Amino acid sequence: MRFAFPYTVHIGSICYALPIACLRCIAMSSLPFFSEPVSAGFPSPAQGYLDEHLDLNRLCIRHPASTFLLRVEGDSMVDAGIYSGDILIVDRSLEAVAGDVVVASLEGEFTVKELQLLPVPMLKPRNAAYAPILIGEEGLDLFGVVTFSLHTLRGGRRLPAGE
C-alpha cells in the first residue's frame, strides 16, 4: 500500500506531512453521543438517548504532536478492515508490539501491515493475495502505529483529502 498525505506542506522540493496538532480543521467541538449501543443483530426497541457529548479529538488522538493522518492506496489490508481511500490515524509516539497495525518505510516508500514477531519477524498483509515481508537483520524503519482507520460507508465516496 502507498500513502498520499492528505495534509502536506511543500518546502522547496521536499514535501512534509503535518502532525494533527498543526491542523485547524481538526479543532472541532464535541459531537452528540448516544451512549446506548445500537443493535447490529436483531432490532431492539430504541432505548438510547442523548446523554453526553463525545470529542473525537480526545477519543482518537492521544499525542497530537506525534499523530499524523495518512491516506491508504491499495488492498493488502482489506481483511483488517482497511480499504483503499481510508484515512489512517498514526501515532508515532507509541512503541509497536506484535499484532499492531503499523506504518513502515521500506525502500523509501510507506506500507501498512500487521507487525508479527514470532516465529519469524515480518510485516504481515491482511489479504491472502499478498506475501509477508520478512524483517531482516538490518531491522525495520517504523513510522508509527495505526490507532484508527476512517472510512466512509456512503457509496464509495472518498474521504476528503484536506485543504
State the catalytic residues: 76, 113
Hey, which residues does 114 pair with through a beta bridge? 101, 124
Compute the C-alpha angle 25/29/30, nearest 5°. 130
Cell numbers for 141, please give them: 524503519
Q: How far apart are CA 96 and CA 141, in angstroms?
A: 11
Residue among 63, 142, 56 nearest 95 (CA): 142
- At 36 the three-state DSSP class reads coil
